[in-house]
Amino acid sequence: MKKMLSLVVLFCLLTLSACQKDIPEPETKDISSSSNVTVEASSMRIAQEDTFFVKYHVKGRDVYIECIAKNASFRNKSAKIVLLIDGKDKTEYQNAAFIVKGLQPGPHHMKLELFKENEAVAAAVKEMDILINK
């Protein structure tokens, strides 16, 4: 019986000592120090700038856009986004997220301008090129 108990204790000690290996930390890059970074994950892209973040996703002929603006609020409609597609088709949105539907196949240039509380000059501008597949 003592021999069996000794074997169990020895097995437990060996098991515990095997779990003491140092697990390496994952290698990550700090993107917070960079002022203009583009991150791409599968078909979703995030374009980051200090005060105006734009995330968009192309699905078919529609583009899903989400905007995050520091120091601007869309809740009380004190901020708005003006969207220009290919230099024309000017549309105003007072929501932080919206969908641009039914774009023609091919490349398009989108320009988003953030305006705060009745300001005449855009507080921030974000431009992006997208491709709508057939």
Structure tokens at 111: 């320009």
Q: Where are the beta strands (DSSP E) in 23-120?
A: 36-41, 44-49, 52-59, 62-69, 79-85, 88-93, 97-100, 106-116
Angle at alpha carbon of residue 64, lines to 61 and 66, rounded to 5°: 160
In this model, does residue 62 exceed pLDDT 50? yes
Q: How confident is the model at residue 59 (pLDDT cuts 50, 70, 90)?
A: very high
Domain 36-132 grouped into CATH 2.60.40.10? yes
Position with higher pLDDT, 134 vs 104: 104
10 Å Cβ neighbour count for 109?
Answer: 12
pTM recorded for the entire structure: 0.60
The full set of domain ranges for the chain reads: 36-132
Q: Which among 97, 63, 105, 58 is positioned nearest to 79, based on CA atoms?
A: 97
Q: How confident is the model at residue 33 (pLDDT cuts 50, 70, 90)?
A: very low
